[in-house]
Structure 1
């Protein structure tokens, strides 16, 4: 699905929608640091209602000279902010989600918005709607736990909209759910390694959002000291990277990673890659200068449509991902989000204080099958076998060794001719399954570390939103399917109720959401009943989620054991032949 030229004409029209109290009926209102916000009472599960505040700016919109700068504080607004509908999604060309998403407010660079969904009973009591008077915050009430969720999309596409991230399941169980947009693709992750375009703007937006939550949580009835950070796919990678960063201390208490981690599997933090990406993109755009100030000036003045066209070309060339997070140079003098290689940080114990759940699906890459066919992944591997490796190896290992490793992977998975079915196994194992096992192993071996829990989502739904939304048929459980059991896929589902559960699918959604709720309340996925146990480093036990309410804590099966052992060998050879690609990390 292409959201681009058709919306560019109206992109400049989006701005903060300020109205006077006499212009419309305000269902629910809260007062945050920048002014009054009016939301809607919406229908949740269990025939309840929740308060929904959508499209709240958490930073100044990054327009003009601010296009590649860190977000500036929001300026206070008079009267009321109309937060009854979501804002526009960030500029992108979707090649992943298809009918699973259905943005209703167009696309614009004015996309820096948060959506805050609150159990109605948790809202503070407003004493007065006079903006010159204060309101009863929540008195002595502690406030409810908060889930901040980072959307996926390969760092290239996606949004926090309720089309795919409907809050109904979770908010009906008594927590606040916050989703949001952040800068993506070239706007969020282009790096020139200069003070003006240092890279990682998408990550910086996420830090800005988390700080905004700390300052405004109590206005919504939330507890700022009880924030859980979660994400799916590239959003999980971002969440994990933030948990490894010194910048985010005190902003959240626990982490939930769904089909993604900071281990550079489908991306690389290599500054060499970042430089190559920038050079190629600028060439496509027709900017051939090496003067960083000239490049910056051209980029902030280039029309959005031209940048999106060039980004789309490079996005195709990149395959699944193109612009990605980068390891940052301390000489830039900026607050560094990614200050070293993520594997090094994990092995050093960064982030070990956060209780953590890590998950993957049994057949992840069926989700990407059409995209993989479109980019001719098999043809790319034939032309360059290094494509089959996780990209970090190609940028950190001697070239002849990397090529040898690529051929080992090809020989391991393919019996003769390259084919898509076998490649889908390579994709799952290399990008998702093996990294999940390694992340939990590193954590479990760490002294005095918080517990870590691992799951494989293997539930085959009677009605799969992913299969319907992407018009696919496959066996097993694909990427995003666990997400649709935690968030409501409103773009696909009808208006029916899911809770109290009636069907088998309803029961799985009830069970999966309860894991999240329990994790937020007691730092483990089941507060009362035993069954899902923390990972033991010598066993790598995980919860095999195959049927609702059936605990199945198992050890890696024979296939998984052999795969882990094989990639351990690949990684060890790569490390023994590593290049010195370090930058000043201090």
Structure 2
């Protein structure tokens, strides 16, 4: 037994040193950088590269230069966030990871920059969740990164000292870093695709809308999230800050007093304190420190000064080819996060999205009743089945906002808009399985991610799952290369994915067998569209 243990330890040491074989140094704008070669020799990895410096509640500054050679081997960087009952991470967190194929001479690779999700509350660019192997096999460069979260990333007081949207401005700084430095890794700075999931997808749309992001990317992929999702924009950011101050036993409505108090608190003190959600509301309503509509302040650069809907409807945004879609059972994850108490307290009136603004209570009551008639499985009852709640939470937070965004992009972009619905159910639908819906059909929120990124510990992978991984990463990387996810039919992809148009607003259904379906596929979507046409909050 002792001998076996020694052999295993020796093998682990050999594997470790092989996996961490250093690259030759390369020069970027900040100095010399050294990464590591992957164990299979397929690509090089650079972890924890500083791209910016964060001053609390302020816009980021570019990272300073360093002396000597920086070894890019820090795989554990993350911004402060809650994890269970703890606060993890630190504020010196603005780092990124670059994964590049072993460079061929005189070749320039397309670049794919991924923005992680997590409701603007948690998450990171961790290689243990967003492993690069599947993408780099398609000869693209993958970049992942961290950005500031929650109150540290999205305190919006409308003053120069805390203008707001620091997390989104971190993302802009990361894209500027890519623009300036990716050529050193063999990347093409004129062929950058940004893509993201959930809050990362909402972030992608924010970059499409923001003048600050102009010219920093050339294509975009939005997975299960939109800046037009009710949880992705905060219309009352000062009130939210005052509520957090009250939870910290400090009653004031003076923004400078709030700022001073928040500056004196540790990250752990700020993040371990929560503003409780309203009774009867759904779990997505807890995302409160999120992007805001900024006040224009002389001497500062605003990220966005009008609501996402207003900008998208105006047609004045960064127009690029887009893939946009959702998963067919988004709500599994959200309902899985509810508990017995919150489920029992749920009602349609109190759970109406916060980006709806009603002229009076009768309009609010009528809307709640209309939604109840669509989603409730029992007539004349306030009870809502789990299946109905899954559909309601998925539609309210993800499906309708994504479909509505798709519709506006088709109308106003002038660029190809490829729409999809991911419905594959397999062994790597990890979110659905984790939240107790493993035997239910379809794909939950986040279930497409293991078919794009290698997750540490889930290997080997079954043949059917590998086939879907290859399908997804081929389409996504094709889009990065050709602005078309299926530029030509193959044995692997024997279908044609046409862009959605006003005349034919269709979506590709991604499953074992591909098919097409109408974008506006049922009366629930039509009811949401009618409701938002009447009552959408614009500022």
What TM-score, normalized to structure 2?
0.88
- The reply on whether 1:186 has 2:155 as its aligned counterpart is no
Cα 1:565–1:293 change in 2 (3 A) is closer
CA contact (8 A) 2:47 2:98 kept: yes
CA contact (8 A) 1:267 1:391 kept: no
Cα 1:38–1:471 change in 2 (3 A) is farther
Deviation at 1:311, TM superposition (A): 4.0
Q: Which residue of 2 aligns with 1:200?
A: 165
CA distance in 2, matches of 1:346, 1:82: 42
Q: Which residue of 2 aligns with 1:480?
A: 446
CA contact (8 A) 2:21 2:37 kept: no
Q: Which residue of 2 aligns with 1:41?
A: 37
- The reply on whether 1:504 has 2:464 as its aligned counterpart is yes
CA distance in 2, matches of 1:457, 1:475: 12
Quick one: which of 52, 65, 80 aligns to 1:76? 65
Cα 1:144–1:405 change in 2 (3 A) is same
CA contact (8 A) 2:22 2:34 kept: yes
Correspondences of 1:135-150 after superposition (within 5 Å): 141=106, 143-150=108-115
CA contact (8 A) 2:160 2:297 kept: no
Correspondences of 1:97-116 after superposition (within 5 Å): 107-116=89-98
CA distance in 2, matches of 1:366, 1:26: 43
CA distance in 1, matches of 2:470, 2:426: 13
What RMSD, in angstroms, separates the aligned Cα atoms of the two structures?
2.7
Correspondences of 1:132-531 after superposition (within 5 Å): 141=106, 143-270=108-235, 273-311=236-274, 319-320=283-284, 321-331=287-297, 333-351=299-317, 353-373=319-339, 376-379=342-345, 381-382=346-347, 385-394=348-357, 398-414=360-376, 415=378, 416=381, 417-446=383-412, 449-470=414-435, 472-473=437-438, 474-490=440-456, 492-494=457-459, 496=460, 503-529=463-489, 530-531=495-496
Q: Which residue of 2 aligns with 1:12?
A: none
Deviation at 1:219, TM superposition (A): 1.2
Deviation at 1:353, TM superposition (A): 2.1
Deviation at 1:423, TM superposition (A): 1.1
Cα 1:186–1:216 change in 2 (3 A) is same
Which segments of 5 or more consecutive residues in structure 1 lack a partner in the other structure?
A: 1-23, 123-137
Deviation at 1:470, TM superposition (A): 4.8
Cα 1:561–1:470 change in 2 (3 A) is closer
Cα 1:42–1:213 change in 2 (3 A) is same
Deviation at 1:339, TM superposition (A): 1.8
What TM-score, normalized to structure 1?
0.81
Deviation at 1:369, TM superposition (A): 2.4
Deviations 1:147-201 (A, max 9, x none): 1110000110111101221111001211110000000011111211111111111
Quick one: which of 530, 546, 555 aligns to 2:511? 546
**Structure 1 counterpart SS, 2:467:** helix
CA contact (8 A) 1:151 1:235 kept: yes
Task: Say how many residue pairs are matched.
Answer: 507
Deviation at 1:315, TM superposition (A): 11
